[in-house]
């Protein structure tokens, strides 16, 4: 599968994680609604946890739904990545915009204090009765 040169072997070439929509997991439209297939470096016993079925040892079928690190001395923010994005809306760019950070070990700030939310807001939605 990987060839005769171990120095060129890369686990992520064959070990993959595919992001699919709950609406369309197979067939036509799957790639439009999902986040695609990505090389994934983890296993069931590593930090980048990715479980697979023994009859399909390279296809991750369960992974983390959130990766988060919280510095308990900092009440303003945590670093976190949500591979499914922060929006469940089908054509929102926030639906899949954190996949690369999730796959590559990136971290994004999630702000909690009112001051920091205000300082880092890009949009505001006002709902009036």
Residue 74, pLDDT score: 93
Give the rounded percent of residues in the chain with a pLDDT score beyond 90: 24
- Whether residue 61 is predicted with pLDDT greater than 70 in this model: the reply is yes
Cβ neighbour number for residue 44 with a 10 Å cutoff: 10
Query: What confidence category does residue 76 fall into, taking pLDDT thresholds of 50, 70 and 90?
Result: very high
| Angle, CA 10 vertex, CA 79 and CA 44 arms, to 5° | 55
Which residues neighbour 100 within 8 Å (Cβ) at sequence distance 6 or greater? 106
């Amino acid at each position: 599968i990987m060839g005769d040169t171990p120095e060129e072997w890369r686990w992520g070439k064959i070990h993959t994680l595919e992001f699919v929509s709950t609406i369309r997991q197979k067939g036509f439209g799957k790639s439009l609604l999902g986040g695609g297939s990505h090389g994934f470096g983890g296993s069931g016993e590593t930090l980048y946890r990715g479980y697979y079925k023994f009859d399909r040892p390279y296809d991750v079928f369960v992974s983390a739904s959130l990766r988060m690190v919280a510095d308990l001395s900092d009440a303003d923010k945590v670093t976190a990545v949500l591979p499914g994005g922060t929006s469940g809306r089908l054509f929102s760019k926030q639906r899949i915009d954190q996949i690369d950070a999730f796959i590559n070990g990136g971290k994004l700030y999630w702000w909690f204090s009112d001051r920091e939310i205000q300082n880092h807001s890009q949009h505001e939605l006002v709902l009036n009765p």
